[in-house]
Chain A
Amino acid sequence: MTHTTVHRLSEFAVGLLFGLGLLISGMTDPGKVLGFLDLAGAWDPSLALVMGGAIVVGFFAFGSAKKRTTSFLGGALHLPTAKDIDKRLVIGGLLFGAGWGLAGFCPGPGIVTMATGEPKAALFVVAMIAGMLVFQFTDRKPKS
């Protein structure tokens, strides 16, 4: 196997694992997501456990990633460098959170639920891609 094949296979496997995690955790059920976001109703705390479980594992992984200069496959480690807490971060978060609360889908679960054959999830993904394209073609700030 060539080096590129190993890369592509591992990326596919990670995408698959991530998709399975979304399905098992309940994130692909908008009813469950909205149950978590509805603090004033009958509250479903499940999503706190999803985030908690993911972050505990991630904490150790990123702790060791920060001490490395290359990945295990020998490539660059693309750790984010942006640190600024600016208007873009705040407004982007507000818009995203509003959309998340409207339908109960965030990007990953939207894509995985689309793949279950759910037409509304497919419509969500199409609209999400349209939103991304609108951003891309109207954004004035040069990409760093």
Chain B
Amino acid sequence: MTIDWANFTPWMSLGGGILLGIASAVFILINGRILGISGILGGLLAPKTGDIGWRVAFVLGMLAAPVTMSLLTPDDFISVPRIEAGYVMIVVAGLLVGYGTRLGSGCTSGHGVCGLSRLSPRSLVATGIFMAAGFAIVFVIRHLL
């Protein structure tokens, strides 16, 4: 294994990760909610009375993040998205992510961050599986095809 030192951003990633942890902590302790993006979004697609406002407020907050970031920091502070996938690949990826996260009841935030923080065996299994699938697909695309 070789480490990609040129792209390794230990302090930004650790700092950003701590912010994700603080957001998850505030959400469960203050609002009583699990911070899981696929669950929050999925609930908006099957709306129930009294269960919509908190989801909309949260998603609007997320959408406001890039403009807030650009007001607070210099232009080159965060990394510009590098998107290798073409349009067809993007659509296939989106369909798989949408269907898979609903079937498996969670994604990187709900299972990966909140679930592992709760020491949930179910989330540990889910996280292990989606990470393994991610490693496998990238290996196939980058090294076999």
Contacts and interface: CB of A to CB of B under 8 A. Distances in A.
B22 A57 contact: yes
Nearest to B54: A11
Given A24-B15, A89-B125, A104 B84 contact: yes
Contacts of B23: 14-15, 17-18, 21
Contact of B62 (A16, A102, A104): A16
A14 B19 CA distance: 10
Contacts of A84: 122
B37 A111 contact: yes
Contacts of A7: 31, 53-54, 57
Contacts of B22: 17, 21, 57
B5 to A, nearest CB: 9
Contacts of A93: 100, 104, 111, 125-130, 133
Interface residues of B, number: 112
Main secondary structure of the interface of B (DSSP, over half): helix
B4 interface: yes
Contacts of B85: 30, 102-104, 120
Main secondary structure of the interface of A (DSSP, over half): helix
Top 5 nearest A-B pairs (CB, nearest first) are A92-B104, A15-B61, A131-B98, A25-B16, A19-B65
Interface of A: 4, 7-32, 34-35, 37-47, 49-62, 64-66, 68, 70-73, 75-80, 82-85, 88-108, 110-118, 120-121, 123-136, 139
Interface of B: 1-4, 7-10, 12-35, 37-38, 41-42, 45-46, 53-54, 57-69, 78-85, 87, 89-105, 107-109, 111-122, 125-139, 141-143
29 contacts: A11-B27, A15-B59, A16-B62, A18-B24, A18-B61, A21-B20, A25-B16, A26-B79, A28-B79, A30-B82, A30-B85, A39-B135, A46-B9, A61-B21, A62-B118, A68-B29, A79-B28, A91-B104, A93-B130, A95-B97, A97-B100, A97-B137, A98-B137, A100-B134, A104-B85, A106-B109, A124-B90, A127-B93, A132-B42
